Structure 1
Amino acid sequence: MSNLVRKNFDSPEETRPFERDTGRLDLVELDGGPVGRAVFQPGWRWSEHVAPIAGTDSCQAPHLGYCVSGHLAVVMDDGEKQEYGPGDLMVVPPGHDAWTVGDEPCVMIDWQGVADYAKR
């Protein structure tokens, strides 16, 4: 028996908006857990637009993601910094801030850390 699954981020099971209309997280549910598509608008910064939702000083979610478009900068609590762009795979441990770089929205697909991300 086949176990084919088809999901589409254009009709997610859940959408979580960020503060001040700076983006959103669209979630699709799979047997192994949720997968997210985050859209970060220009000017979005985790410490300004998600920290009030999370209630922590830095993002405590781990991320395993793929950058579809745009650019995202990440700085770890210890100061290590990396920028991600189209085609990049990212592995980001807990304890970081992040922000959109440039004038284009950043779209990321994330397989880890989205279950509670920006959840109210």
Structure 2
Amino acid sequence: MNTLIVSLLFLAAVAMYIFWRTRRDNGIRRETIAVADIGEVFRQISGQGVETSFAVFAIQTGEEDDAVEIQFSVENGKAGLDWILMSPANIEEKPKVIQYAASKGVEWQEKEMNDWLYLR
């Protein structure tokens, strides 16, 4: 009898974990892509033209818990690149990113959405 109860509790825990993982992901597709595929991702985001379309790239740094995060998203009907000011690496590199963009004639604008700051 104890074995049956333990087995049922274990199965319930596994089912709850699977339910939690699928609910947490909110149906967001996660994939690993090659650098050569980034242009195609941008074309797909651009082709969507829908304000909710986005693709986030997380590039692992030397720190295990930190990654540089950039995203393509559609804002006001136009696809663009966003430097998300969420991770410590992105916040730390913000001045360098602004300086590099300025050297290429690009001026970032700091914006906020859903309580997160980002450069676009």
- Does TM, scored on the shorter chain, surpass 0.5? no
Please identify the structure whose Cα radius of gyration is greater.
2
TM-score bucket of the superposed structures, by smaller chain: 0.3 to 0.5
TM-score, structure 1 length as denominator? Answer: 0.32
